[in-house]
Amino acid sequence: HDELEIPVIYVSHASDEVARLADHLVVLDAGKVVASGALGEILARLDLPIRLGEDVGVVLDAVVVERDRAWHLARVKFAGGTLWVRDCGHHTGHSLRVRILARDVSIALDKVDGTSVLNCLPASVAQLADEIHPALALVRLDIGGSLLVARITRRSAARLGLVPGMSVWAQIKAVAVMAELHWPCASKKGGKRSVLLLRCSGASAACESLPSRACLVCRASRHLPLPFWRDVAEERPFSRH
């Protein structure tokens, strides 16, 4: 949508779709707006009625600053520091999104050496909250203005003596690079065109106002079959359009 510059209001209960597509997130509860703001800020809030289970986590905007071709890794820079992620072939300077789930973040009082975890960043505890299960707690961490969420046991939180404002180290065990969705046809520059996927249930002439072969919503007579959405989501070739 950055390329086509088309504003979209997208309603979804799927956290993966939200993480991939949204810039601004509005949270509704019982038909009322309970929160509205930037995607990363809202996903990091612990006081909202969003129950994502294992998908609790944040999304960060980052830029590729280094590629380590020997180990097939890339270093990306975000507002709070840098992270090592798998190399997806993006050139330096390329903007992308990374997703960090709360279950993949642990907390230490001191920096730990001799560990397989590549990403250890200084942070401060911003907030603690109970999780659905009584054994667990959620901890919101501030890393240079960027927010992360960690899921740990309440016993661990008590043993570490975690309180808001406390300095800690965030150990990030896994960072997911959000895959870009591409339209199969070539753009003017010969690359692939990023698109937003909308599932329309009725006829629409919206596609007529878009560049040739870049329609997001097709007429009822030209609805794309369900396999199309799977093919695009998994980035497999598709030539039916």
Lowest mean pLDDT of 57-61, 144-148, 178-182, 227-231, name the range. Answer: 227-231
CA–CA separation, 86 and 149 (whole Å): 21
Helices and strands counted in the chain (H then E): 4, 14
Q: What is the pLDDT of residue 2?
A: 62
pTM (predicted TM-score): 0.70
Q: What mean pLDDT value characterizes the chain? A: 76
Q: Give the pair of three-digit tokens for residue 92.
A: 């330096």
Is the pLDDT at 185 greater than 50? The verdict is: no
Average pLDDT over residues 191-201: 37
Measured CA to CA, the distance from residue 124 to residue 156 in angstroms comes to 16
Query: What's the confidence (pLDDT) of residue 111?
Result: 93
What is the spatial distance between Cα 71 and Cα 87, in angstroms, rounded to a whole number?
A: 9
> Is there a contact between 141 and 125 (Cβ–Cβ < 8 Å)?
yes
- Using the predicted structure, report yes or no on whether residue 92 has a pLDDT greater than 70: yes
pLDDT over 90 (residue 184): no
Instruction: For Cα atoms 76, 24, 17, give the angle at the middle one, nearest 5 degrees.
Output: 75
